[in-house]
Structure 1
Amino acid sequence: MKTSTEQKLFQYAWIFRKQIFIGLVCLVIAVALELTGPFIAKRLIDQHIIGIENQWYQVQENNDDQTVSYEGKLYKRSDRIEETDEIVSTATILQIERSYYFIDEEIPLTGSRKLEEGALILETPEKTYSVVADQMTIPHLYHFFRPEVTGIYRLLTLYVFLLLIAAGFQFAHTFLLQQSSNRIIRKMRDDLFAHLQKLPIQFFVNQPAGKVVARVTNDTEAIRELYVKVLATFVTSFFYMTGIYIALFLLDVKLALMSLGLVPIILIWMSLYKKFAGKYNKVVRTAVSDLNGNINEAIQGMSIIQAFRQQKETSAGFEKLNDKHFTYQKKLVRLSALTSFNLVNVLRNIAFVAFIWYFGAGSIGPGSIVTVGVLYAFVDYLNRLFQPVTDLVNQLPQLEEARVASSRVFEILDEQEEHMEDTQIDRYEGNIKFDHVSFAYEEGNDILKDITFEVKAGETAAFVGHTGSGKSSIMNLLFRFYDPQKGKIFINETSTKEWSRQQLRSHMGIVLQGPFMFTGTILSNVTMNDENISREMAINALKAVGADRFIEKLPKKYEEPVKEKGDSLSMGERQLISFARALAFDPAVLILDEATANIDTETEELIQEALDVLKEGRTTLVIAHRLSTIQKADQIFVLNHGTIMEQGTHQKLIDQKGEYYRMYQMQQGAASIKAV
């Protein structure tokens, strides 16, 4: 069963589930503490600020701080009465507009109120009251408010305290989730880079380097944004909205049910956005990879571009890709701009219309359906509800971008890798045999056709021929960069397929026509950071091939820094270092892929001396361009269109006066002309 992109992302997150779980617990606690604010405000308003509007009982004694003195009498609010209090009579305090009135009798607190000719008229569905009411002065009013001051300070202190605790849990949640996110991406990048090194060479032939780099860097960075920001926002918004809905249900079930209508709207919108934005993001991410590939190619070939004055044409190609990226990025921006901001505003306005209609219509009648504190709490919660909605909608572009980037990363991770087997095998002698081998990079276009030859241990065999004759393909098969479609390849009578590629290559070395230098030092380029190659072994190898002649003149000698591709060194110097690299690893089979093709004549003698040291005691296969460098070879194979047309020693082939003789004469003639 194929695993979806979402499942793979979840599997990576599951690795760090403990830390993520603790972070989510901290988030739940932080959200719960933050959402206590409106409830505390509701209690502060209803119980303390407007709680003075209530029935007040006249009592005999002043036995606590809840007792208020008014016109020589003692009063306590009805909800503050204790069993030990002796009630004498009941009074009522009501508010009309901005003034409070004291009524020396008990009347209802709900209903329509007005003043007529010094009397307070209170209309309820059951009865109309007309009572004498005394307008309270500020000093008198303060007496009734004074018992509430302690409660107000207590609630405010509690709220500040809860906010401080919530801030601590919020910090822990943010830190833990972001740390987990960075660890996930670190592991993903490690896995991706390790996987790349296990892929067959064919993958890299078909994939430009810039595109691969874009997936390792740009796409994983987009996924990091998914874990760090997008998923954190979604999780936070989910818990926040859940907490708000719980609070709304506690306040008013009917309006909470109405507010639930937001959820399907958001889900439908996310589904529609995913449909359109997914297509756009796929093009955008592909365009980014193409841009990286184009830039990488342009930088690598800048000298050629400038030499042939192709700056304008190169820029035109780049601009075409850049315009494609810009066009689809603009479509994404338009999609977000037309919907995200408007969607949240429309939802907010609809919710507030429903809120005003529900509460307003219910409050017009004789009896108010809710308290001022409940009204405040609902407004507060509705405002808070739309913040996570806004966050969710705003993160949809990043979510889709990350999904597309994830699919591109997992495409590489799903590529079939080579079987890895690092178990050491005994060093083979190097008897090599190709038995009726045929090979094609593409089906129906054979590069090698029924090739058969044998090279004995310790011999030097050279392969010559025109471009496309199959010389490099033989080396690719021997190294098992590819496997032949027909025939078998043997080393010491053992088929190369019986060993893993790592085991086979463990006793092989290669020197390429263009020696590759890694960023580091001369020594690190010889040891390749292999623990089995000591500093002394590397230096001895460099001295053996004669590289010490120029290294000793360098400021830091063997620790001299090597820049990218070794551009600070000459071609001959780089080649000597690559010889030393091969010698340090002491291979049984050495492959020289036109190792002297780009060497000038003056350096060639030094290189030949190094080659003599390098070939000693090992089987050497040489892809030769200069026939003058292979005259001492034990065997020379002349290839033509994938077949061996001639075979023998240099002298034997010269005596045959065939293709090899013709090639040799041409090179000798060219050399004579150069000498003249």
Structure 2
Amino acid sequence: MKTSTEKQLFNYALSNKKIISFALICLIVAVSLELTGPFIAKTVIDHHIVGIETEWAQLPSDQDGAVSYQQKYFKRADRVTDQDQVVAYYTLIQSERNYYFIEGQLPLNSEVELNQDQQLSVTVNGQSEIISGNPLTTDDLYQFFQPEVTPIMRLIAIYLGLIIIAAFFQYFKTYLLQVHANKIIQQMRQDVFKKIETLPMQYFVDRPAGKILARITNDTEAIKELYVKVLETFINGFIYMIGIFIALYLLNPTLASVCLILIPLLFLWMKFYKKYAGHYNRLIRSVNSDINGSINESIQTMPIIQAFRQTKGRQTEFEQLNGRHFHYQKKMIALSALTSYNLVTVLRSIAFIGFIWFFGNGVLTVEGFISTGVLYAFADYLTRLFEPMSQIVNQLPQLEQARASAERVFELLNAEGESIGDHNLDPVKGKVEFDDVSFAYEKENYILNHVSFLATPGQTVAFVGHTGSGKSSIMNLLFRFYDPQKGKIKIDGVDTSTLDRQQLRQQIGIVLQDPFIFSGTIISNITLNDENISREQAIAALKAVGADQFIEKLPKQYDQPVIENGNAFSTGQRQLLSFARALAFDPAVLILDEATANIDSETERLIQQAMSVLAKGRTMLIIAHRLSTIQHADQIMVLEKGHIIERGTHDQLVEQDGNYYQMYKMQQDSVTEKIIS
């Protein structure tokens, strides 16, 4: 059953549950500590700043926490422990911008003012009366506020300490999540590269190298942003929102319940965004791969492009791809612009309108009085609620980009690869047999038809024929780059389809027409860093093919640095290195795929000398273009349209006066013409 992209991303995210769990614990602790701020502010406002507007008890003498006013001592009534000591009660009340100290007990929402006779008048529920009391000056008010300074400073110090502790937990959370995110991408890239090495050749035939490269680099980089930035933002956001809703419920369950409607609205918008943004992002990533493929192809074929004056054509093709990329990006920008600002702004405005209406319509009555501290705390939490919402919404474009990239990466990871055995095959003698083999790259379009031959250990078998006759397909089948639709291929009598591909390839060496030289040194190109091949063996292989003649003239000889593809060497020199590489691995079967087609006569002579030595006791299969290089072969197979039409030694085929003789005669005439000219 196919696993969804989201589930595969989730499985990677949980690759180290201990780190994730510890990071989440750090986050929860940090959020909890940070969200104490509004509650502390509420306490400071209600109990210490606005809290002085309350009933005060007159005491007979001074005591801890008492305030001296007009040579009398007063203490907040809620802090008096011995009610028997109370002489009288007073009320400190604010009316408009003035403060009054009134004898007796009054409701805090009473209206107090000085009348024309400079007497204090109080209005309660529409009823006015003259009361006894005094307006307070700023200095007087400070006297009543002074006992609150110490607890306020204490609460501020506590909050500052909590913030510092929260900062440490935030650091550990961020560090752990970031390290884990980069570890995920490291593992994903390793998995992708490992998968690529197991994919069958057909996978690479159907897809340009640039597109595959884009999946390993660009797409995994987009997924990295998912784990590094998006995932942390979403986790932070949701934990913060949960913490804020808990705080809102502690303050006012009714309004907190109303605010819950924001969650389904956010979820519905994310579903809407996913539908349209996901489509555009898939198109963008696809076009981006096409751009990578075009650039890769242009760089590799730049000599041909310039030689045939195709620079304008390639530029036009690139501009078309770039234009498509811009077109879809513009659509994404329009969708993101609608999301990132408008959505959160509208929701925030609606929430604050509801907040104002709720607190201004019925809750400010005597029965439902809400303190200033609660108002402040609720407004603070409501403001904080939209910060993670805004961050989450702003990360939606990156989330969809990552999802589109993940689909492409997991499409590669989920592709069926070839199994790689971890145990070696016993050395083989080198008996190669094709038994009525037929093969087609596509459906019924057979490249090989009923091919049968036997190469015994120590024999040299050559295959010749015109382009498209099926010569290279025989080698592809022997290496199990592909498997035949019909017939069997055997090594020492064992059907190769029953062996792991890597087990089989350990016994076979190959030299291609166009050799590839890796970055490194000459020695590393021969050993390929295989611990089973010593430096001495590598040097011996190089000397066997005659490569020592040019290597020992180099400044560092066998340790000479080599750039990618060995561009500092001639074609013949690179071919000698490739030939030595195959010999160093000492295969039971050695394949030369037109290995002498692109080299000069002098280099060909060196390889011929090496081949005569190395062919002893080793099965050698040669795909030949130059017939002069295979005249010593024990068998020569002539192919035409996938059939073996002639077979025998060089002399036997020349005597038959058939296709082989015609090819041989044409090459001889060509050589004669060159000599004469």
How big is each residue's C-alpha offset from its partner over 1:188-231, in whole Å with a ceiling of 9 and x where there is no partner? 11111111111111111111111111111111111111111111
Mean Cα deviation higher: 662-671 or 544-553: 544-553
* Partner in structure 1 of residue 662 of structure 2: 662
Mean Cα deviation higher: 597-606 or 645-654: 597-606
How big is each residue's C-alpha offset from its partner over 1:398-426, in whole Å with a ceiling of 9 and x where there is no partner? 11111111111111111111122132122
How far is 1:608 from its partner? 2.0
Q: Secondary structure at the match of 1:93?
A: strand
Distance 2:124 2:34 in 1: 39
Distance 1:385 1:409 in 2: 35
* Contact residue 572 and residue 599 of structure 1 kept, 8 A: yes
How far is 1:138 from its partner? 2.2
* Partner in structure 2 of residue 334 of structure 1: 334
* Partner in structure 1 of residue 488 of structure 2: 488
How far is 1:382 from its partner? 1.3
* Partner in structure 2 of residue 457 of structure 1: 457
How big is each residue's C-alpha offset from its partner over 1:472-501, in whole Å with a ceiling of 9 and x where there is no partner? 000011111111111111111111112111
Q: Which amino acid aligns with 1:376?
A: Y
* Partner in structure 2 of residue 29 of structure 1: 29
* Contact residue 233 and residue 391 of structure 1 kept, 8 A: yes
How far is 1:96 from its partner? 1.9
Distance 2:636 2:395 in 1: 66
Q: Which amino acid aligns with 1:76?
A: K
Q: Structure 2 regions of 5+ residues with no counterpart?
A: none
Correspondence 1:98 to 2:101: no
Correspondence 1:345 to 2:345: yes
Distance 1:366 1:114 in 2: 20
Correspondence 1:356 to 2:356: yes
* Contact residue 93 and residue 102 of structure 1 kept, 8 A: yes
How far is 1:139 from its partner? 2.2
How far is 1:613 from its partner? 3.7
Distance 2:293 2:585 in 1: 34
How big is each residue's C-alpha offset from its partner over 1:289-332, in whole Å with a ceiling of 9 and x where there is no partner? 11111111110001100111100001111111111111101100
* Contact residue 438 and residue 446 of structure 1 kept, 8 A: yes
* Partner in structure 2 of residue 546 of structure 1: 546
How big is each residue's C-alpha offset from its partner over 1:415-455, in whole Å with a ceiling of 9 and x where there is no partner? 11112213212211111111111110111111000011111
Question: After the TM superposition, which residues 546-585 of structure 1 pair with which residues of structure 2 at under 5 Å, given as runs?
Answer: 546-585=546-585
Matched pairs, number: 675
How far is 1:456 from its partner? 0.9
Distance 2:179 2:130 in 1: 69
How far is 1:364 from its partner? 6.5
How far is 1:369 from its partner? 2.2
Q: Which amino acid aligns with 1:91?
A: Y
Q: Structure 1 regions of 5+ residues with no counterpart?
A: none
Distance 1:612 1:102 in 2: 118
How big is each residue's C-alpha offset from its partner over 1:57-95, in whole Å with a ceiling of 9 and x where there is no partner? 01123231x111111111100121113871111011111
* Contact residue 364 and residue 370 of structure 2 kept, 8 A: no
How far is 1:363 from its partner? 6.5
How big is each residue's C-alpha offset from its partner over 1:76-127, in whole Å with a ceiling of 9 and x where there is no partner? 0012111387111101111122321111222122344444333444444496
* Contact residue 113 and residue 123 of structure 1 kept, 8 A: yes
Distance 2:33 2:84 in 1: 37
Distance 2:530 2:640 in 1: 39
* Partner in structure 2 of residue 163 of structure 1: 163
Q: Secondary structure at the match of 2:490?
A: strand
Distance 1:610 1:136 in 2: 113
How far is 1:609 from its partner? 2.2
Distance 1:122 1:177 in 2: 62
Q: Which amino acid aligns with 1:101?
A: Y
* 395 and 308 in structure 1: CA distance in 2 versus 1, 3 angstrom threshold: same
Distance 1:393 1:435 in 2: 64
Correspondence 1:282 to 2:282: yes
* Partner in structure 1 of residue 107 of structure 2: 108
Mean Cα deviation higher: 607-616 or 347-356: 607-616
Q: Secondary structure at the match of 2:481?
A: coil
Q: Which amino acid aligns with 1:21?
A: S
* Partner in structure 1 of residue 201 of structure 2: 201
Distance 2:431 2:82 in 1: 108
* Partner in structure 1 of residue 433 of structure 2: 433
Mean Cα deviation higher: 495-504 or 451-460: 495-504
Q: Secondary structure at the match of 1:50?
A: helix
Distance 2:520 2:197 in 1: 20
* Partner in structure 1 of residue 376 of structure 2: 376
Mean Cα deviation higher: 397-406 or 136-145: 136-145
* Partner in structure 1 of residue 617 of structure 2: 617
Distance 1:492 1:93 in 2: 107
* Contact residue 123 and residue 129 of structure 1 kept, 8 A: yes
* Partner in structure 1 of residue 2 of structure 2: 2
Q: Secondary structure at the match of 1:583?
A: helix
* Partner in structure 1 of residue 476 of structure 2: 476
How far is 1:615 from its partner? 2.7
* Partner in structure 1 of residue 59 of structure 2: 59
Distance 2:317 2:119 in 1: 89
How far is 1:149 from its partner? 0.6
* Contact residue 55 and residue 91 of structure 2 kept, 8 A: yes
How big is each residue's C-alpha offset from its partner over 1:637-668, in whole Å with a ceiling of 9 and x where there is no partner? 00000000110000111111100000011111
| TM-score under structure 1 length normalisation | 0.98
* Partner in structure 2 of residue 133 of structure 1: 133
Q: Secondary structure at the match of 1:51?
A: helix
How far is 1:542 from its partner? 1.2
Q: Which amino acid aligns with 1:652?
A: Q
How big is each residue's C-alpha offset from its partner over 1:332-384, in whole Å with a ceiling of 9 and x where there is no partner? 01111123210011011111111111222346756772111111111111111
Distance 1:210 1:481 in 2: 21
Q: Which amino acid aligns with 1:600?
A: D
* Partner in structure 1 of residue 50 of structure 2: 50
* Partner in structure 2 of residue 211 of structure 1: 211
* Partner in structure 1 of residue 629 of structure 2: 629
How big is each residue's C-alpha offset from its partner over 1:521-569, in whole Å with a ceiling of 9 and x where there is no partner? 1111111111111112111211221111111111221111111111111
Q: Secondary structure at the match of 2:141?
A: helix
* Contact residue 110 and residue 367 of structure 1 kept, 8 A: no
* Partner in structure 2 of residue 225 of structure 1: 225
Q: Which amino acid aligns with 1:562?
A: V
Q: Secondary structure at the match of 1:452?
A: strand
Distance 2:84 2:565 in 1: 95
Q: Which amino acid aligns with 1:95?
A: Q
Q: Which amino acid aligns with 2:628?
A: S
How far is 1:128 from its partner? 5.1
How far is 1:257 from its partner? 1.4
* 129 and 33 in structure 1: CA distance in 2 versus 1, 3 angstrom threshold: farther
Distance 1:138 1:460 in 2: 112
How big is each residue's C-alpha offset from its partner over 1:594-637, in whole Å with a ceiling of 9 and x where there is no partner? 00101122322223223334433210000000001101011100
Distance 1:261 1:125 in 2: 38
* Partner in structure 1 of residue 79 of structure 2: 80
Distance 2:413 2:322 in 1: 28
Q: Secondary structure at the match of 2:88?
A: strand
* 538 and 133 in structure 1: CA distance in 2 versus 1, 3 angstrom threshold: same
Q: Which amino acid aligns with 1:347?
A: L
Identical pairs, percent: 57
Q: Secondary structure at the match of 1:620?
A: strand
* Partner in structure 2 of residue 595 of structure 1: 595
Distance 1:583 1:85 in 2: 109
Q: Which amino acid aligns with 1:251?
A: L
